[in-house]
Structure 1
Amino acid sequence: MRAGPAGAARRAVADIGTADGFAVRLEAATAVYGTGAAAVTALHEVSAGVPRGAFTAMMGPSGSGKSTFLHLAAGLDRPASGRVLLGETDLSGLSETALTELRRTRIGFVFQAYNLIPALGVLDNITLPLRFARRPVDPAWLARITDAVGIDGLMGRRPGELSGGQQQRVAIARALVTRPDVVFADEPTGALDTGTGAQVLGLLRELVDSLGQTVVMVTHDPVAAAYAHFVMFLADGRIVDQLYAPTARSVAARMAGLGER
């Protein structure tokens, strides 16, 4: 029997020897920026798996390595040593062209800035990744995701005619349109007010629970992290803690403890 999100999350750091249950794995991955005396090690031999079909939040103090973890896992940066695997695909050995194609087809991105094209309507913004990948639109899947994110009545509008929350919903639909293995969200509610942010976070959780989508979110906000199934904490470039079925209070308490390191 396949483990549910909570069961998969409990194995996220403890058992990464197999791809089963994990969308992305880092194996002894080290990230170094700069050279010589100016070199900074952002991640130190990190081994961890991102559970498939779960909502994972990455947290840590500023400079802890959480954004670097996301960049390696998403194939945006390469490790100085170790491996990064998307399913069974070793990203470390791919050419830049192959990495670009992989990001277009197997990875979705949601950022604080919506990155929508103002001159294009909602439909064209959503399907843009398919154009880049030269893949046809699946009308049934498009209808399903636009309904799931609550924008099926906005398809004829342009970004400037939408609220911030609606624009982020369009960005989420765009991230889902290629049926990616994993969606990476970097502070996805940072530009939204509290109420709208809560709606977007609830939507991300619902997409995981109803569609089985894998989502990894970097956030500094304990309230946002509480929407996840699982929270992974980083400090000084290492994974130092993890929390299952988080609450805002339990996440804040763990973060306070990290501040004392």
Structure 2
Amino acid sequence: MASVGRRSAVTADQGAAASDCSVEAAAMRLVSVTKTYGSGEASVTALNDVSFTVPRGSFTAVMGPSGSGKSTLLHCLAGLDRPTSGQVFLGDTELSSLKEAALTSVRRERIGYVFQAYNLISSLTVEQNITLVPRLAGKAVDQGWLREVLEHVGMSRYADRRPNQLSGGQQQRVAIARALVTRPDAVLADEPTGALDTRSGQEVLRLFRHIVDGTGQTVLMVTHDPVAASYADSAVFLADGQLAGQLARPTPEQVADRMTHLGNR
């Protein structure tokens, strides 16, 4: 797949802590979010008063050292974890106040999640894996959109194959298609290239870039790789559970330099 041009949706300067984006144009927002695990002297604050906005139709990378709060931030945005204080919004829906049944419905229908380890079911075909979530929810699968998604991820020829007949990069493409098939408000990706070789990883990153530019999909990706972050419109940095800056239109060199300074905090 040919590389495509980058959108210019994010214009924050290098020291910005949050996207300059109206509430109406926001796909996701964190508002003064703190997340603490445990209590008393044994408590650990994973996020500390974090606020930032992800614009609709943008590709955002989240980076930081181990223990910086990246996974907790992703889990709060995905509705997998509730903040100790503050608010999490998906569009105009406040996730942090929803009851469990409503939150489960939002996660299933409005959030696409891509895991590092693909999480495909080996006994199912590519098409069955992609359509598993709506079928489990008793929803009809839009066959036209399914064909379009398969085309977007370059897997139309492989719809009847099983995961063990695919390369790692192809399996991750299937996982991305599964995240897209419900037409989610946002796709969240947790180290999506971590288990891939360099070539396959770049193909997946170009695919995310193509999806954002070609369909207006919102993608937020946690990564440790400066090259991966350079495919995004914006790289947001965390350190010690707090925002530590943001780069618009990042280059690998800029990201690596910022990460080096974060490691010295």
Same fold (TM over 0.5): yes
Q: CA deviation at 1:135?
A: 1.3
- Matched position secondary structure for 2:73: helix
Runs of at least 4 residues off by over 4 Å:
none
Deviation string 1:49-93 (CA, Å, 9 cap, x unpaired) is 111101100001111111111111111100101100111101111
Identity rate of aligned residues, in percent? 60
- Matched position secondary structure for 1:98: helix
For 2:3, the equivalent position in structure 1 comes to none
Question: Following superposition of structure 1 onto structure 2, how do residues 1-261 of structure 1 map, counting pairs within 5 Å?
Answer: 5-8=7-10, 10=12, 13-15=18-20, 18-261=22-265
Distance 2:239 2:103 in 1: 28
Distance 1:200 1:42 in 2: 29
8 A Cα contact 1:207 1:213, kept in partner = yes
CA distance change for structure 1 residues 162 and 154 in 2, over 3 Å: closer, same or farther? same
Q: CA deviation at 1:132?
A: 2.2
CA distance change for structure 1 residues 236 and 25 in 2, over 3 Å: closer, same or farther? same
Unaligned 5+ residue runs, structure 1?
none
Unaligned 5+ residue runs, structure 2?
1-5
TM-score normalised per structure 1: 0.95
Distance 2:107 2:39 in 1: 27
Q: CA deviation at 1:134?
A: 1.8
Q: Alignment RMSD, CA only?
A: 1.5
Query: What one-letter code is carried by the residue in structure 2 that aligns with 1:131?
Result: R
Deviation string 1:7-65 (CA, Å, 9 cap, x unpaired) is 3453981546x522211101001001112211101111111111110110000111111
TM-score normalised per structure 2: 0.94
CA distance change for structure 1 residues 41 and 189 in 2, over 3 Å: closer, same or farther? same
- Matched position secondary structure for 1:20: helix
8 A Cα contact 1:59 1:219, kept in partner = yes
Deviation string 1:81-123 (CA, Å, 9 cap, x unpaired) is 1100111101111111111111000000101111001111111
Matched length: 257
Query: What one-letter code is carried by the residue in structure 1 that aligns with 2:18?
Result: V
Distance 2:172 2:263 in 1: 31
Could you say which structure has the greater relative contact order, defined with CA pairs below 8 angstroms and 6 or more residues apart? 2
